[in-house]
Each structure stands twice: as C-alpha cells, then as structure tokens.
Amino acid sequence: MKKEMLLKRMASNVMSSTGIHSLTERVCCFGKSFVLMYHRILPSAADQPYFVQPGMFVSMASFERQIAFLKHKFKIVFLEDLVEMRLKREEIGGHCAITFDDGWRDNYTEAFPILKKYNAPATIFLATGFVGTDRMFWPEELCCYLTRNLPVQPGSEDAPLSFIRLNQEFGRCARVKDARFFDSAIEILKKFSPGERDELLGYFRVRFGNIAIPRQMLSWDETQEMYTSGLVRFGSHTVNHEMLDQISLEKAEDEIFLSRQKIERRRLGNAVRIFAYPNGNYSESIQNILAKSGFNAAVTTCKGFLSRGTPLMEIPRIAIHEDVSNTIPMFRSRILFRKC
C-alpha cells in the first residue's frame, strides 16, 4: 500500500473510533443530502481482460459493506425522488442516492443482487448506444491495445498524426505498464478531439486486429429485469458517451434526445427527467438543451452535497472507488471531506 493511502486509512480509523466521523456527519448532513457515483462493481479488477482504472470500480465486498452502512445511517432514495423533494422544498437532510454511470453489465451481475439483498434503490445512467452490443468505450479499448502493444514510433508512413501525437505525449511519461501509464494514456486522449480519437483507434484496429472479449455492457433484457424489480431506475447518459462540450450543439442535442427516447421506448420509465454529463463535461448551452428537452436535473462529477441552493442542473456527486473507500472509515471520509 502506498504511503499516502496508508496515512489516509490510519487517519480515517482514528476519526471513526473517536467519533469525529459521527459528529461531522451530523453537521454535513443537516439539511443536506448526497449522491454517490459508482461505475463498476467487480469481484476483482485483476481478472478483467484489460486494465481497469482504479477510479472505475469498487469490489463486491466493499460495495456490500457500503450499502449496509448506508442503510443503517441514512435514508436511501431514488435520485429522481430526491430531486422531487428538493423541488417541493421538502426536507432532504440525511438522505442519499446511489447512481451508476454508463450501464456496465456488472451492474446487473454483481451490484443488482446486493441492491436486492438490502432493498436499496439505485439509478443507472445509460449510454444507450452501447446497451445490448459488444461495443467498448474508447478508454477500455485503448487499454486493450496498450496491454498488448506499447506505442512505438511508427515503422511506416501510413501512421496518422494522432498516433504520432500520442507518441510525442508519451515521450514525457514512463513506459512501464502500470496504473500511471494507462491513466496517462487515457488523460492524453481526453485532450484529443473525437475525430482524432476515432482515427487513432481505427489505426490500432487495423494494425493490431479486433479485440474479442465478453460483452461488457448491459442488455435491454437485463435493464428490463432490474426496472421491473422496482429497485432500479434509469437516466440518460447520451447515446455514444460523447463529451458534450467537444461536439457541435446540434450533435449534442441529438445525443441527448435520442438517448432519452430510446430509454422511454424500452418502457424503462414514463419520462426520463434526469441526465448525467459524460466525463462531467457541460456548458451553459448544454444545460439549455437539457431544460428545453424536459430534463429537470443533471448530475456532475464535482464533489459536494446537495442543498436547497444547489442548481439542479449541476448536482454534485461523490465518486466512490476501491482504492480510497475499501474500508468503512475510509468510505465515510470519502463522503465527508473534499480531499479524501
């Protein structure tokens, strides 16, 4: 364990045992609620066919401990209901909501049984263009290629400029295949335009061949089963998980509208009113499109609590991932303190 993480664990244990966590929870949750953001729930990240970023997953064991703790300490409600409470100016203190981004299949295979065990409601934001398909998000596809072949200077003249740019950026990074390496690669590509990312991945597909791995995303049958249980509702997360401030407003409007339309046509709710910004990227123009389209709330990736004064198109969430929340004291610190 890294020294920094060890110190965080020790500090969290002290705050939990001395009652500091309990006191801070009473203060922070007085008149306020919070929204948790998960992505994946996995038995083990090491068993996956590609590198999984630490910020993308929580282990099944940690997730069950967290849900049991939340059920004991707070009132877990659907995010949609929490928004409605805010709109009606009802008391939201001591409430929390559980959300998942993207629509990963492990939300069904690993998280759903735990939600059922504890009767805990949750909201999944679907990138509808991936549901029921073998498509992968570009960070995972990139990691698949980098796991097999590190970027090297191209040996032919057909390498695109995006590949050359990636290698130039990697010149500033260590090439050891560890978490920092993959995280650096993903952060580099986030700065690329959508066209550059598509060009680079297309080049990798031709050069290294297609990747055959088990289906990673939910199917529509799985979403229907979860919705029918009464414990899972669904929100919009665009069609193709586009970072909305990197594309035209016309394309952004299509991404938002078509995603919502697909979910409603699949009868996963009468009207989809809540949206999650992919990668947390948004602008005032995007918010205007959401409001015009009938959405009454949207969640960000910014950390914080939901209070009476929080703009509903900028609801903060607390990102939960394994390395910083794998014990209940660390989980409590993650919720309560900005730098944990």
In a domain, 201, yes or no: yes
- State the CATH number of the domain containing residue 296: 3.20.20.370
Please indicate, yes or no, if residue 48 is contained in any of the structural domains: yes
Residues 155 and 296 in one domain: no
Residue 314 lies in a domain: yes
Last residue of a domain, one of 208, 228, 251: 208
The reply to whether 326 and 179 lie within a common domain is no
Judge if 302 and 252 occupy the same domain.
yes
Same domain, 157 and 53: no
* pLDDT of res. 124: 98
Q: Which of 181, 179, 144 is nearest to 166 (CA)?
A: 181
Q: Which domain holds residue 332?
A: 3-133+218-336
pLDDT at 151: 52
Are residues 151 and 106 both part of a single domain?
no
Does 148 share its domain with 262?
A: no
Last residue of a domain, one of 162, 183, 208: 208
> Does any domain span residue 300?
yes
Same domain, residue pair 91 and 227: yes
Interatomic CA distance for residues 118 and 108, integer angstroms: 15
Position 321 in a domain: yes
Same domain, 157 and 279: no
Distance CA 240, CA 136 (A): 10
**Do 295 and 177 reside in the same domain of the chain?**
no
Give residue 44's pLDDT. Answer: 87
- Measured N-to-C along each axis, helices 284-292 and 249-265 cross at an angle, to the nearest 10 degrees, of 40
91 in any annotated domain: yes
As a whole number of angstroms, the distance between CA 238 and CA 276 comes to 8
Question: How many whole angstroms separate alpha carbon 253 and alpha carbon 190?
Answer: 21
Q: Is residue 173 part of a domain?
A: yes
Structural domain total, the chain: 2
Nearest-angstrom CA–CA distance, 339 and 189: 26
Looking at the structure, do residues 123 and 225 belong to the same domain, yes or no?
Answer: yes
Residue 285 lies in a domain: yes
Q: Which two tokens stand for residue 32?
A: 């306020």
Give the pLDDT of residue 162.
86
Do 106 and 235 lie in a common domain? yes
pLDDT digits (tens), the chain, 340 positions: 678 888 889 999 999 999 999 999 999 999 999 999 999 999 988 888 888 988 899 999 999 999 999 999 999 999 999 999 999 999 999 999 999 999 999 999 999 999 999 999 999 999 999 999 999 999 999 988 887 755 555 555 678 888 888 877 776 555 556 778 888 889 889 889 989 999 999 988 888 777 778 899 999 999 999 999 999 999 999 999 999 999 999 999 999 999 999 999 999 987 999 999 999 999 999 999 999 999 999 999 999 999 999 999 999 999 999 999 999 999 999 999 987 7
Q: What are residue 315's DSSP bridge partners?
A: 299
Domain edge (last residue) among 188, 208, 228: 208
As a whole number of angstroms, the distance between CA 301 and CA 318 comes to 7
Same domain, 229 and 116: yes
Query: What local confidence, expressed as pLDDT, does residue 174 receive?
Result: 52
